[in-house]
């Protein structure tokens, strides 16, 4: 069928005489890719760049007449990030982890990242005000505060990382289960997750709470993940998701230590298949040299101790923590290869592709440029078997993959790389090619009617590496793997109101003066600070 574009939108018809035509016969056409979780901007990402000169000089992007130069394999510079996404047919990327205090820097880098529409999620799970409201059972007041915060930081969704654990980390401690007490606040991770889930519903935010679980990266943590999903079960109504578990691979570990480490993917998938209130993304491991970075300070410190690598641990005043450790995933490591298997097991055992999305938690489990390789594993058992033959014997013996025959079709790939993600994000004008959608279109050079992806997975992988055409907002921006028109995207943020007008108390301003290096008035990012502000009013 024909897809008709006018003024950056997909429309019913235009006058034919004037229209430029792209002949996509024999090719596969999809909406522009949408990435729900990819660390591309902000203080943490930039510190990762500073920490790793070796990551720069092994991957250099030369300038062209149209594009700027850049560097970086696992943490590419801003322009290179935009170009590489556009070449793969992605047009929207969500930056999932922003300390509120560092919102300004994050937006500066997002503005500097071309080719993509984007948004960013402020870290609110260990924010002092939130912890106090939840301790006092003041859900409505908390909702007011979160609405203010989304506006103040120009944020899109509530991000929760190791809830309570990051506050505990300020005292060199952590929490070990969702029922542990957070020091000094008299709340538990369960209270934080449930409380913010209620806040999310009160504000009617476009996305659900976005959760990096407690105990992430620790053997046996699949139990915590099950408890995390269970703890908001009763808050779900009308079959709608109320929680997103991000990079679930890192939270699906079985075993009591690294020697007995095994996959917990089956237990997670069984739960997800029986419950409709959860969405997840993969956090798929690829065998490569990459850079791990999360707000989960205690986890990153553990990873530093495990690897002995150079590292950064940082506390963002009273708000959150963070850490960065370079990391190489090796085929012959039983643990790494099992992690590789877990991500794919999750994607293949969870039946509904609308609820599990393709990510690598870029750059944590591998750079986003590895997506085409992951697509090949999803569509082809043969591709999985081939990798399987080269991994650690112990990992191979324990892997569930040999028992899984499922192979994704192209429709399922479209779902896990754009349609499902757009739906989970509440971006109604993304992820599809219906009338009214943004004219973001990817044309891949593979004939979906003739090619059996399970057999010709190499051709599929090649096709997803470089589009024949990437159309962004109605303009051809990439063609045959080359950027032909640099464009800058919009920044979505949520302009929510719960009770208006929200009264900022003198007490709140006083506390900003006392506890933060930035005063209340300077804390807020004015809308004029964003190059292309796209508020979503609720
Ligand atoms: Zn992440």
How far, in Å, CA of 146 to CA of 159, rounded? 11
Q: Calculate how far, in angstroms, residue 452's C-alpha sits from the geometric centre of ligand 1.
A: 33
Residues 6+ apart with CB under 8 A from 258: 219, 335
How far, in Å, CA of 385 to CA of 26, rounded? 29
- Would you say residue 473 has pLDDT above 70? yes
pLDDT attached to residue 41: 97
Q: Calculate how far, in angstroms, residue 213's C-alpha sits from the geometric centre of ligand 1.
A: 11
Q: Calculate how far, in angstroms, residue 294's C-alpha sits from the geometric centre of ligand 1.
A: 6
How far, in Å, CA of 448 to CA of 442, rounded? 14
- Rounded to the nearest 10 degrees, the angle between the axes of helix 265-274 and helix 334-349 is 20
- The arithmetic mean of pLDDT across residues 176-205, rounded, is 97
Q: How many CB atoms lie within 10 A of CB 429?
A: 14
- The arithmetic mean of pLDDT across residues 10-25, rounded, is 90
- Would you say residue 466 has pLDDT above 80? yes
Q: Under DSSP, is residue 331 helix (H, G, I), strand (E, B) or coil?
A: coil
- The arithmetic mean of pLDDT across residues 322-336, rounded, is 96
The sign one gets for the Cα dihedral 292, 407, 33, 280 is negative
Q: Calculate how far, in angstroms, residue 281's C-alpha sits from the geometric centre of ligand 1.
A: 10
Q: Calculate how far, in angstroms, residue 467's C-alpha sits from the geometric centre of ligand 1.
A: 26
Q: How confident is residue 238, by pLDDT bands cut at 50, 70 and 90?
A: confident
Q: Calculate how far, in angstroms, residue 210's C-alpha sits from the geometric centre of ligand 1.
A: 10
Q: Calculate how far, in angstroms, residue 364's C-alpha sits from the geometric centre of ligand 1.
A: 7
- The arithmetic mean of pLDDT across residues 50-71, rounded, is 96
109 within 8 A of 136, measured Cβ to Cβ? no
- Would you say residue 419 has pLDDT above 70? yes
- Would you say residue 538 has pLDDT above 90? no
pLDDT in tens, 163-180: 999 999 999 999 999 999
Containing 528, the helix (H) or strand (E) segment is none
Q: Calculate how far, in angstroms, residue 135's C-alpha sits from the geometric centre of ligand 1.
A: 27
Q: Calculate how far, in angstroms, residue 65's C-alpha sits from the geometric centre of ligand 1.
A: 34
The torsion defined by the Cα of 235, 241, 242 and 243, in degrees rounded to 10, comes to 130
Q: Calculate how far, in angstroms, residue 224's C-alpha sits from the geometric centre of ligand 1.
A: 18
Q: How confident is residue 124, by pLDDT bands cut at 50, 70 and 90?
A: very high
Q: Which residues pair with 385 in a beta bridge?
A: none
193 within 8 A of 160, measured Cβ to Cβ? yes
pLDDT attached to residue 253: 98
pLDDT attached to residue 497: 80
Angle at 523 between CA 492 and CA 490, to 5 degrees: 15
Q: Calculate how far, in angstroms, residue 363's C-alpha sits from the geometric centre of ligand 1.
A: 8
Q: Calculate how far, in angstroms, residue 361's C-alpha sits from the geometric centre of ligand 1.
A: 5
Q: Calculate how far, in angstroms, residue 96's C-alpha sits from the geometric centre of ligand 1.
A: 6
Q: Calculate how far, in angstroms, residue 97's C-alpha sits from the geometric centre of ligand 1.
A: 7
Task: Report DSSP state, residue 415.
Answer: I
420 within 8 A of 355, measured Cβ to Cβ? yes
How far, in Å, CA of 106 to CA of 43, rounded? 7
Calculate the alpha carbon distances from 324 to 40, 54, 162, 170 in Å: 14, 15, 16, 17
Q: Calculate how far, in angstroms, residue 462's C-alpha sits from the geometric centre of ligand 1.
A: 26
- The arithmetic mean of pLDDT across residues 387-395, rounded, is 97
* CB burial string 121-157: b at 16+ within 10 A, e below: bbbbbbbbbbbbbbbeeebebbbbbbbbbbbbbbbbb
pLDDT attached to residue 55: 97
Q: Calculate how far, in angstroms, residue 367's C-alpha sits from the geometric centre of ligand 1.
A: 12
- The arithmetic mean of pLDDT across residues 396-401, rounded, is 97
Q: Calculate how far, in angstroms, residue 5's C-alpha sits from the geometric centre of ligand 1.
A: 34
How far, in Å, CA of 276 to CA of 350, rounded? 12
- The arithmetic mean of pLDDT across residues 205-230, rounded, is 98
Q: Calculate how far, in angstroms, residue 111's C-alpha sits from the geometric centre of ligand 1.
A: 20
Q: Calculate how far, in angstroms, residue 95's C-alpha sits from the geometric centre of ligand 1.
A: 8
Q: Calculate how far, in angstroms, residue 365's C-alpha sits from the geometric centre of ligand 1.
A: 9
- Would you say residue 500 has pLDDT above 80? no
Q: Calculate how far, in angstroms, residue 208's C-alpha sits from the geometric centre of ligand 1.
A: 16
Q: How confident is residue 317, by pLDDT bands cut at 50, 70 and 90?
A: confident
């Amino acid at each position: 069928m024909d897809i008709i574009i006018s003024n950056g939108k997909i429309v019913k018809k235009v006058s034919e005489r004037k229209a430029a035509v792209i002949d996509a016969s024999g090719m596969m056409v999809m909406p522009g890719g949408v990435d729900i979780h990819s660390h591309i901007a902000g203080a943490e990402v930039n510190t990762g760049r500073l920490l790793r000169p070796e990551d720069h000089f092994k991957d250099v992007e030369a300038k062209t007449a149209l594009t700027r130069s850049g560097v970086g394999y696992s943490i590419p510079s801003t322009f290179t990030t935009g170009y590489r996404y556009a070449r793969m047919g992605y047009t929207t990327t969500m930056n999932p982890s922003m300390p509120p205090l560092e919102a300004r820097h994050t937006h500066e880098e997002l503005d500097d990242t071309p080719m993509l529409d984007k948004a960013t999620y402020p870290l609110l799970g260990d924010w002092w005000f939130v912890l106090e409201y939840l301790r006092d059972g003041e859900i409505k007041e908390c909702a007011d505060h979160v609405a203010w915060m989304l506006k103040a930081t120009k944020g899109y969704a509530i991000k929760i990382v190791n809830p309570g654990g990051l506050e505990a980390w300020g005292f060199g401690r952590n929490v070990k289960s969702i029922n542990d007490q957070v020091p000094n606040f008299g709340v538990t991770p369960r209270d934080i997750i449930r409380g913010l889930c209620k806040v999310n519903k009160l504000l009617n935010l476009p996305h659900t709470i976005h959760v990096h679980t407690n105990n992430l990266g620790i053997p046996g943590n699949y139990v915590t993940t099950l408890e995390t999903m269970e703890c908001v079960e009763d808050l779900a109504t009308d079959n709608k998701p109320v929680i997103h578990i991000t990079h679930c691979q890192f939270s699906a570990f079985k075993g009591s230590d690294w020697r007995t480490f095994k996959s917990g993917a089956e237990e997670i998938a069984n739960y997800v298949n029986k419950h409709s209130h959860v969405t997840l993304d993969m956090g798929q491991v690829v065998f490569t040299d990459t850079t791990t970075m999360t707000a989960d300070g205690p986890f990153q410190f553990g990873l530093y101790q495990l690897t002995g690598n150079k590292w950064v641990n940082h506390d963002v005043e009273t708000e959150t923590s963070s850490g960065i450790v370079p990391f190489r995933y090796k085929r012959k490591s039983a643990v790494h290869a099992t992690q590789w298997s877990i991500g794919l097991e999750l994607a293949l055992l969870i039946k509904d592709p609308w609820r599990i999305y393709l990510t690598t938690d870029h750059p944590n489990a591998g750079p986003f440029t590895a997506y085409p390789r992951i697509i090949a594993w999803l569509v082809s058992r043969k591709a999985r078997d081939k990798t399987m033959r080269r991994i650690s014997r112990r990992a191979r013996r324990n892997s569930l993959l040999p028992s899984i025959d499922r192979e994704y079709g192209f429709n399922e790939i479209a779902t896990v790389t754009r349609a499902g993600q757009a739906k989970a994000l509440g971006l109604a004008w993304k992820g599809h090619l219906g009338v009214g959608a943004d004219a973001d279109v990817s044309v891949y050079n593979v004939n979906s009617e003739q090619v059996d992806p399970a057999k010709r997975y190499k051709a599929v992988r090649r096709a997803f590496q470089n589009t024949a055409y990437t159309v962004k907002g109605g303009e051809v921006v990439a063609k045959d793997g080359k950027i032909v028109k640099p464009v800058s995207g919009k920044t979505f943020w949520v302009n929510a109101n719960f009770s208006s007008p929200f009264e900022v108390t003198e007490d709140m301003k006083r506390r900003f003066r006392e506890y933060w290096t930035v005063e209340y008035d300077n804390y807020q990012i004015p809308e004029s600070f964003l190059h292309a502000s796209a508020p979503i009013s609720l």
